[in-house]
Amino acid sequence: MSRARQARNVSLRAVALGAAALAVAVALAATVGWLCARQLNASGSLGMPVPSAPAAASPAALPLSESAPQPERARYETEKLAALNGWGWIDKHAGIARIPVSRAMALMAGDRTEAAP
């Protein structure tokens, strides 16, 4: 096709109608957005009252922080390490015992070189 023929196939009326439809759609969307924004009050709710703030909690209800938590942390870690590395019964009647992690890993690996006490 020739260049002149291609230029004649473009309908200026169709382009103008498409542009007008697009402009109307944009204007309609902007109007709806503006109307919705007008309905919002300062709190951002749609005409609903702003909820009041909850009553202030008493100072005793607030979590208290320690000035020096290191001794308590050391005690906690000692207890946890003793549980990980110690032997003991969890439920003697059911035959459930607690064994050290190293022994459990050796049993799982099939290495039975470490003797049980």
pLDDT value, residue 67: 77
What does the angle CA 13 – CA 17 – CA 22 come to, to the nearest 5 degrees?
A: 150
Amino acid at 98: R
Closest CA to 101 of 86, 111, 116: 86
What does the angle CA 66 – CA 67 – CA 70 come to, to the nearest 5 degrees?
A: 80
Q: Which two tokens stand for residue 52?
A: 């009041």
The phi and psi torsions of 32 (rounded to 5 degrees) equal -65, -45
Contacts (Cβ under 8 Å, ≥6 apart) of 50: 43
pLDDT value, residue 77: 94
Of 24-33, 77-86, 94-103, 107-116, where does the model show the most confidence?
Answer: 24-33
pLDDT value, residue 5: 58
Say which range, 12-16, 66-70, 82-86, 102-106, has the weakest mean pLDDT: 66-70
The answer to whether the predicted template modeling score (pTM) of the entire model surpasses 0.75 is no
Render the burial of 32-57: b for 16+ CB within 10 Å, e for the rest.
Answer: eeeeeeeeeeeeeeeeeeeeeeeeee
What are 12-70's pLDDT values in tens digits? 899 999 999 999 999 999 999 888 877 776 556 656 666 677 666 555 555 667 777 88
